[in-house]
């Protein structure tokens, strides 16, 4: 079945560091990918839609200069948390639909980000 790979699984770094998270669709092409943020025991909050070859679409309240998204190819989207601070610590997870946009989403395993 369709697989989405997310890397890294864990990141622990100092405040002020920028962190890049990769999301790859392994056996299918994804013109659109999605990035979510999840706090402990809470729901997934959609942050942005990553569009291959064009700018990402950010949800209301999400700082686009803080969370840089690049979708350079049909199988790779990256999320960079710039100048991360402790309040950015969270579980970040990506997803991609296989086929057209209304198909089920395949999720990566997520990245647990801890900023000291």
Residue 106 binds to another protein (criterion: CB under 8 A): yes
Separation in Å, CA 100 to CA 21, 72, 114 = 24, 19, 34
* Phi, psi angle pair for 56, to nearest 5°: -70, 155
In angstroms, what is the minimal distance from the CB of 6 to another protein?
8
Binding status of residue 59 toward another protein by CB under 8 A: yes
- Separation between Cα atoms, residue 116 and residue 12, nearest integer Å: 7
Binding mask 5-44 for another protein (x = CB under 8 A): ---------------------------x-x-x----xxxx
Pairing assessment for the beta strands 105-107 and 4-7 based on DSSP bridges: unpaired
List interacting residues with another protein (CB under 8 A).
32, 34, 36, 41-46, 49, 57, 59, 93, 95, 97, 100-110
């Amino acid at each position: 079945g369709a697989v989405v790979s997310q890397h890294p699984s864990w990141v622990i770094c100092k405040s002020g560091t920028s962190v890049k998270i990769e999301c790859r669709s392994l056996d299918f092409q994804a013109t659109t990918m999605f990035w979510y943020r999840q706090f402990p025991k809470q729901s997934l909050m959609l942050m942005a839609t990553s569009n291959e070859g064009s700018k990402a679409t950010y949800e209301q309240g999400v700082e686009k200069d803080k969370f840089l998204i690049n979708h350079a190819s049909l199988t790779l989207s990256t999320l960079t948390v710039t100048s991360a601070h402790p309040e950015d610590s969270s579980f970040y997870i990506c997803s991609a639909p296989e086929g057209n946009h209304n198909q089920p989403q395949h999720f990566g395993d997520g990245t647990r980000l801890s900023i000291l």
